[in-house]
Amino acid sequence: MIPQRVAGSSTLAMLEKVRQMKAQGMDVVSFAAGESDFPTPREVIEEAHKEMLEGNTRYVSTQGVPVLRDALAKDYKNRLNVSWAAPQHFLVVAGAKQGIHLALSAICDAGDEVLIPAPYWVSYPGIVKALSAKPVTLQTRLEDRYFSNVETLEKAWTPRTRALIMASPGNPTGLMIEEKLLKEIISWCEKKKVVLIFDELYERLTFGKTKHVSALSLVTEAQSEWVLSVNAFSKTFGMTGWRLGWVASHPKNIEYLTDLQSQVLTCMPGFAQVAAARAMDKVDSILGPVVKAFSNRKKIIMEGLSGIEGVKTLEPEGAFYILVDVSGVIARKNLKDDKDFVQKLLEQQQVVTVAGSAFGAPNSFRISFAMSEEEIKKGLERIKTFCVS
C-alpha cells in the first residue's frame, strides 16, 4: 500500500458533511464555508468564455501569461507598495494551496522543519507532512493576538528549520499582523536563512482600521530571496473553483519554482488567466459591496457572541472568519473538548462549525460568516441556546 502520511482536510470534510445534510433536507445552518458566498462576477465569466471561443484553450506559458503577470506587478507596485515589483517576480499557480505546496516542496528535504504559529490555516501542517518534512507548531496566546514574536521563533529554531509560514489576515482568526512585528520577523528570517511564506489570501477583504502590509513591501528585491508572498483570486473574486493563484518573490526563486512547476503542472488555463487579469481592472466595483457585506456580518456576529457567557473572542480585522474560545462553555457543560462541542452543537442544533483543534486552537471553534445576515442570526440563536443550556 502507498504510505499514508496525512489525514484529509477537516474544513473540506465539514463542507462535504454540509452538502450531505442539505441533500437529506435537514434544516442545517452552516458556518463552515471557507469560501465567499458571492458568485464569480459575470464579467469575469464572460471574458473567460470569450477567450475560450477565440481559441485560448491550449498550453500557455508555465510562469503565467504576460497580461496577468503585468497586472499583478502593477498591483503590487501601486497598491501594495512593492516599488520593485515586475512581471518576473510572479508565478501563476493552481490556487494558494498549490502555491504553498510547490514552495515548500522546493524548500524542504525530508526531515526539515517548518515553523507554524498556531492558530494556523488547517492545511499548513498537512502539506509539510506530505513532503516528509516536520511541522513545528508554536503556541500563541489570545493576549498576543495569536501572533508569535521573534523570541518564540528563536527558541523553536534548529539547524533543520527551513521555513516559517503564516497568514495575514489569518484563517481562522481574521487578525492582521502589525507592521512592526512583521518587520522584526522578516529580519529574523533573513538572519537565520529561513524562508518566510506569507499567505496574503484575504488581503483585500479587510474592514478594520489596520491596513494590510505585504511582506514584500518591507524588503528590497535582493532581500526577497527570503520572502515568498502567496495569494489567489479564490476568496477575493468568489473564484474558489477556478483554482487560480500566484507566488511572488525574488526572480531566482520564481525561476526555480517555474522549472519545478513545468514538471508537475505545466500551466494554468490561459482563458482563466486572461479573465482574471481583466477582473483586476474592475476590482473596486466588484469588491466594494462584498467588503461592506462582510463588515456588517462581522458586526452582527460580534453582537451575537458578546451576550453569551463563557465565550471569548477577538474582533476580526479581515477575511470572513472568527475564532471563538469556548473553554468556559466546555467546562460548564462538562464536554470532552472542542470536537465534542462541535459535534454536540451539530447534533442538537444542526449548526455546522469547525473545531478549533483543526487549526491548532483547542477549546475553540471557527465560524465563517460567508452567508446571509438572516442565516447568521438564525445560527447565532442556536449557538446561544446550545451554550446556555
- Which residue, 112 or 199, is less far from ligand PMP as judged by CB? 199
Residue closest to ligand GLU, measured at CB: 34
Measured from the Cβ of residue 32, the count of other Cβ atoms closer than 10 Å reads 26
Place of cell 500551466: 267
CA-based torsion, 68, 69, 70, 71: positive or negative: positive
- Which residue, 71 or 96, is less far from ligand GLU as judged by CB? 96
Helix axes 270-281 and 42-53, enclosed angle (nearest 10) = 140
- Positions touching ligand GLU (CB under 6 A) are 9, 11-12, 34-35, 122-123, 171
Lateral strand order in the sheet of 227-232: 90-93, 245-248, 227-232, 195-199, 161-167, 113-117, 134-138
Q: Is 240 in the site for ligand PMP (CB under 6 A)?
A: yes
E-only strand ranges, the chain: 29-30, 90-93, 113-117, 134-138, 161-167, 195-199, 227-232, 245-248, 312-313, 321-325, 351-352, 354-355, 364-368
Residue closest to ligand PMP, measured at CB: 95
- Contact range with ligand PMP by CB under 6 A, out of 20-28, 45-53, 90-98, 279-287: 90-98
E-only strand ranges, 268-375: 312-313, 321-325, 351-352, 354-355, 364-368
E-only strand ranges, 223-360: 227-232, 245-248, 312-313, 321-325, 351-352, 354-355
**# of chain residues touching ligand PMP (CB under 6 A):** 13
- Which residue, 12 or 26, is less far from ligand PMP as judged by CB? 12
- Contact range with ligand PMP by CB under 6 A, out of 22-30, 89-97, 189-197, 300-308: 89-97
In the complex, minimum distance from the CB of residue 12 to ligand GLU, in angstroms, rounded to a whole number: 5
Written as one letter, the residue type at 362 is P
> Which position among 96, 165, 194, 311 is part of the footprint of ligand PMP (CB under 6 A)?
96
Measured from the Cβ of residue 12, the count of other Cβ atoms closer than 10 Å reads 13
In angstroms, rounded to a whole number, what is the distance separating the alpha carbons of residues 123 and 316?
21
In angstroms, rounded to a whole number, what is the distance separating the alpha carbons of residues 6 and 173?
24
- Which residue, 96 or 189, is less far from ligand GLU as judged by CB? 96
In the complex, minimum distance from the CB of residue 116 to ligand PMP, in angstroms, rounded to a whole number: 12
In the complex, minimum distance from the CB of residue 25 to ligand PMP, in angstroms, rounded to a whole number: 28
Residue 245 interaction partner, one of ligand GLU, ligand PMP, none, beta carbon < 5-8 Å per kind: ligand PMP
| 86's grid cell | 515586475
* Helices and strands of the chain, counted as H and E runs: 13, 13
In angstroms, rounded to a whole number, what is the distance separating the alpha carbons of residues 326 and 340?
12
- Here's the x/- map for ligand PMP, 187-206, by CB under 6 A: it reads as ------------x-x-----
Residue 9 interaction partner, one of ligand PMP, ligand GLU, none, beta carbon < 5-8 Å per kind: ligand GLU
Q: Is 121 in the site for ligand PMP (CB under 6 A)?
A: yes
Q: Which of 66, 70, 122, 118 is nearest to 96 (CA)?
A: 122
Q: Is 232 in the site for ligand PMP (CB under 6 A)?
A: yes
Q: Is 171 in the site for ligand PMP (CB under 6 A)?
A: yes
Q: Is 167 in the site for ligand PMP (CB under 6 A)?
A: yes
In the complex, minimum distance from the CB of residue 323 to ligand PMP, in angstroms, rounded to a whole number: 13
In the complex, minimum distance from the CB of residue 26 to ligand PMP, in angstroms, rounded to a whole number: 25
- Which residue, 122 or 329, is less far from ligand PMP as judged by CB? 122
Residue 95 interaction partner, one of ligand PMP, ligand GLU, none, beta carbon < 5-8 Å per kind: ligand PMP
Binding site residues, ligand PMP, CB under 6 A: 34, 95-97, 121, 167, 171, 199, 201, 232, 234, 240, 245
